[in-house]
Amino acid sequence: MMESGLHRFAWISIGAAVITIALKFAAWWVTGSVGLLSDALESVVNLVGAVAALIALIVASREPDEEHAYGHAKAEYFSSGLEGALILGAAVLVMVAALPRLIEPEHVDSTWTGIVIAVTAAIINLLAARFLQRAGRIHGSVALDADATHLYTDVVTTAGVITGIVLIWLTDWQIVDPIIALAVAANIIFVGYELLNRATHGLMDTALPPSELEKIEGVLAAYRASAGIETHALRTRQAGQRRFGSVHILVPGVWTVDRGHRLVERIEHDIRSRVPGIMMVTHLESLDDPLSFEDRALPSTDNAADST
């Protein structure tokens, strides 16, 4: 399966996190900058998030089974949500470290040494983020895309910290250090919220994006115009790299089952060609039966209870 080949990308993220953690803690050690400390703490979160992404990709790559007939792709959303929560936790640690320095600023030493080390770490993260983001988009992996987003955030964080250290070197305003650290924390909170929001939507079976829905609707519209049929009750959802959809196909009542079946097979094939990898289920109904038009709306929980 496609997911199994994605494990190597998670290992790249883990390797980048280990290297940057060592570099950033070294930069903090030589400078004493709370901004660099906040940057190092975020890289620790990167490492935990990368490990979580690896585990999620391993689980998501498992074949469907009797307990999980639709596969295990939603494991990626747990990884994305965990990474978002960890980012928020890192922001709290940054604020705890920065607020005392805001009241009583401390001197930052060896600024140029710290800058060189931090720039090296930022370059490593930037290269890893670009690689992971491209892989995530090509393969539709939520876990890899979340990991790339986190690394990009780390690059922005490092850039802000470096800017603060340069300002301290130019002006000797030591208070800039905790101010930059708090700005970093604010940015981390925003990114963490975005990741949590995305994970929540995925776990709640959100419909496919409008661009993909338009492709499906285009196929159905073409068949409505050429085959004299009707369609309704199109429903879609996504789980990581997987896409799922269902639709009701209404054909003339005089059609044989064989003719209707051949039509829906063509419809499913055309939809899969427009939205690769989608698992499409069609429900064949008669245009001549009034009951066929009573199930257009989404079923409510009350209706489901009544039918049992």
Domain boundary among 146, 171, 203: 203
Does 81 lie in the same domain as 39? yes
Does 242 lie in the same domain as 188? no
Close Cβ partners of 119 (under 8 Å, ≥ 6 residues apart): 158, 162
Q: Does the pTM of the predicted model rise above 0.85?
A: no
Domain boundary among 203, 229, 254: 203
Does 126 lie in the same domain as 7? yes
Does 166 lie in the same domain as 64? yes
Does 108 lie in the same domain as 79? yes
Does 62 lie in the same domain as 149? yes
Compute CA distances 10 → 140, 141, 143, 144, whole Å: 14, 11, 9, 7
Name the domain count of the chain. Answer: 2
Per the CB < 8 A criterion, the answer to whether 25 and 40 are in contact is yes
Domain boundary among 169, 184, 203: 203
Does 285 lie in the same domain as 195? no
Does 258 lie in the same domain as 154? no
Per the CB < 8 A criterion, the answer to whether 54 and 92 are in contact is no
Instruction: Give the residue numbers spanning the domain of 54.
Output: 2-203
Each residue's pLDDT tens digit in the chain (308 positions)?
444 456 677 788 788 888 888 888 888 887 777 777 777 777 777 777 777 777 777 776 676 667 665 666 666 677 667 777 877 877 787 777 777 767 776 666 656 777 788 888 889 888 988 888 888 777 767 667 777 877 787 787 788 777 777 877 777 777 777 787 787 778 778 777 777 777 776 666 677 888 889 999 999 999 999 998 999 989 988 766 678 899 999 999 999 999 999 999 999 999 999 988 788 989 999 998 888 777 666 555 455 444 44
Does 152 lie in the same domain as 77? yes
Does 38 lie in the same domain as 160? yes
Does 238 lie in the same domain as 146? no
Distance from C-alpha of 48 to C-alpha of 44, rounded to nearest angstrom:
7
Does 102 lie in the same domain as 32? yes
DSSP 182-213: HHHHHHHHHHHHHHHHHHHHHHTTPPPPHHHH
Residue 42: is it exposed, middle or buried by C-beta count within 10 angstroms (0-12/13-18/19+)?
buried
pLDDT in tens, 69-103: 566 666 667 766 777 787 787 778 777 777 776 77
Question: Residue 243: which CATH number?
Answer: 3.30.70.1350
pLDDT in tens, 152-190: 877 877 887 777 778 777 777 777 777 877 877 787 787
